[in-house]
């Protein structure tokens, strides 16, 4: 465990969080390299080393910085990107292009051109219009690309509606209607510019059940069998997505094997019965890699008590550095980092400094008696905090720090007020 309490102070991977706040300022995203390495090892132990012909592609949308992607690269993982910016970041981190997989539901022509030029390992086609667009780019550049089709299996998962991706009414993937899907498969098989490897699906995020994965898998295996019967096409790759849940408050996370072992067992049995070689199987963990490896430090500012209603504790960040509570009603745990051994004395609502009533980080949190200048650590903010940060109210985006065994270093420097003006222009029309 990378969290320790010593002398009333919170330590994270051997670093005194109050020292980190003094050195780097707040708000501050802090990541434990030890925790990240533990997750990489778990992926190898429970999946990659256990099952031959498998890959794990870290979903960069959860956290994308060159330093983080360098750690992913060195751990032997692939990376899943969904934009030209994420692709550029992966290349800057020294990722071999063949270990990059390009996903996303509306890839722009310039993004696909970059992907083709650099020779990324996979392009996951998300809509019918992407194949002819990609073919035209490949023809101009004289390159053939490996592709998968992302399909929508029509399976609902038990999570927030905004992070369900496998239901039929989704902006992601190709619907399973026979007159839509199979002509697309035929077109990719016949194309001289792409090599169709197989199918991709993703059912949702922050999941604690294996049922939705297995239900979606059955749907996709049906497509595999029908494609074999219709076209004599034997797929060589199956991507089962990610979405494995983590602990934010009182959830009980499952290991990678808990999800992936039954998936692998079913895949192996299916292809054995079909008389075909089992394809490569790929998973795309993101949140489960970085989520619990990160926390955010805030300095307490004003405190406002409304008699008979609520006590608000304001911090120097808010929805600009963690939009998830406002967007998904996400819940978190917090520790008073400089009063870590003191008993909880009050129930408060921790709010940010943005001009929005919805700028609430924690509602009804039990904490020690707080005062201005105290340091608050919000746990499990490693996924989609920095990745979704914004400059709303012209607030600078916080710094990102990596810590390991008492040492620390910047992954991303803090934005300044001057940075906010760097791209501004006055056309004076």
User: Which residues are known catalytic residues?
Assistant: 355
For the record, the structure tokens of 56 come out as 């794990």
Q: What are phi and psi of 57, to 5 degrees?
A: -110, 105
Provide the 10 A C-beta neighbour count for residue 134: 24
CA distance 126 to 149: 6
**For the chain, counts of helices (H) and of strands (E):** 12, 20
CB-side exposure of 271: number of CA atoms within 13 Å?
19
13 alpha-carbon distance from chain centroid? 22
Residues 95 and 111: their CA atoms lie apart, in Å, by 17
Q: Which of 157, 154, 171 is nearest to 223 (CA)?
A: 154
Residues 219 and 169: beta-carbon distance below 8 Å: no
Element (H, E) at 163: none
Angle formed by the axes of helices 211-231 and 256-274, nearest 10°: 20
């Amino acid at each position: 465990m990378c969290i320790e309490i010593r002398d009333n102070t919170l330590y994270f991977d051997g670093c005194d969080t109050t020292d980190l706040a003094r050195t780097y300022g707040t708000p501050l995203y802090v990541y434990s390299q030890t925790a990240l390495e533990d997750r990489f090892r778990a992926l190898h132990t429970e999946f990659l080393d256990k099952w031959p012909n498998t890959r794990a592609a870290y979903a960069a949308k959860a956290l994308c910085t060159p330093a983080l992607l360098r750690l992913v690269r060195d751990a032997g993982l692939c990376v899943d990107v969904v934009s030209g910016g994420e692709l550029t970041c992966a290349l800057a981190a020294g990722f071999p292009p063949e270990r990059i997989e390009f996903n996303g539901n509306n890839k722009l022509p310039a993004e696909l051109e970059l992907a083709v030029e650099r020779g990324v390992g996979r392009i996951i086609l998300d809509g019918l219009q992407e194949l002819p667009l990609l073919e035209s780019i490949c023809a101009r550049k004289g390159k053939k690309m490996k592709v998968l089709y992302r399909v929508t299996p029509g399976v609902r998962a038990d999570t927030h509606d905004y992070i369900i991706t496998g239901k039929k009414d989704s902006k992601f993937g190709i619907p399973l209607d026979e007159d839509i899907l199979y002509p697309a498969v035929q077109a990719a098989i016949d194309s001289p510019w792409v090599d169709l490897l197989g199918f991709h699906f993703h059912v949702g995020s922050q999941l604690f059940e294996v049922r939705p994965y297995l239900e979606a898998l059955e749907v996709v295996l049906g497509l595999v069998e029908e494609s074999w019967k219709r076209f004599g096409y034997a797929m060589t790759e199956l991507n089962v997505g990610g979405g494995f849940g983590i602990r934010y408050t009182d959830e009980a996370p499952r290991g990678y094997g808990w999800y992936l072992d039954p998936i692998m067992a079913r895949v192996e049995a299916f292809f054995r019965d079909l008389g075909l070689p089992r394809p490569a199987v790929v998973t795309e963990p993101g949140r489960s890699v970085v989520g619990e490896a990160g926390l955010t430090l805030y300095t307490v500012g004003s405190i406002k008590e409304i008699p008979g209603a609520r006590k608000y504790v304001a911090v120097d960040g808010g929805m600009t550095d963690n939009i998830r509570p406002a967007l998904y009603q996400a819940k978190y745990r917090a520790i008073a980092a400089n009063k870590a051994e003191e008993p909880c004395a009050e129930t408060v609502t921790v709010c940010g400094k943005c001009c929005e009533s919805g700028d609430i980080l924690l509602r009804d949190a039990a904490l020690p008696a707080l005062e201005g200048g105290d340091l608050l650590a919000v746990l499990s903010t490693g996924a989609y905090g920095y990745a979704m940060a914004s400059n709303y109210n012209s607030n600078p985006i916080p710094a990102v720090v990596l810590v390991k065994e008492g040492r620390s270093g910047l992954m991303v420097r803090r934005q300044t007020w001057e940075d906010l003006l760097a791209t501004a222009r006055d056309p004076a029309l």
